């Protein structure tokens, strides 16, 4: 994922900054505790497609 894109996209729920999890190909919103998948290099920024972070994921 392009770092320039990461700087301009935001969480669709709170408009907060998203962090990239390269291993799991996800964008993480630590404020809301949500993870958004990246499919074929495209972030899926739909609240209905996001999943809640587990305790292990939140600690990362």
Whether residue 54 has pLDDT greater than 80: yes
d(CA 30, CA 9): 15
d(CA 10, CA 18): 6
Per-residue tokens: 32: 């809301």
Mean pLDDT, rounded, for 56-60: 67
Task: Identify the pLDDT of residue 2.
Answer: 76
What digits encode the pLDDT tens for the residues 1-49? 678 888 999 999 999 999 999 999 999 999 999 999 999 989 999 999 9
Per-residue tokens: 60: 């990362």
Question: Strand pairing of 34-39 and 26-29?
Answer: antiparallel
Whether residue 59 has pLDDT greater than 70: no
């Amino acid at each position: 994922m392009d770092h320039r894109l990461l700087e301009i996209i935001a969480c669709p729920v709170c408009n907060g900054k998203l962090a990239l999890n390269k291993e799991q190909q996800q964008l993480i919103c630590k404020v809301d505790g949500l993870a958004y998948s990246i499919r074929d290099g495209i972030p899926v920024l739909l609240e209905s497609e996001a999943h809640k972070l587990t305790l292990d994921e939140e600690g990362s």
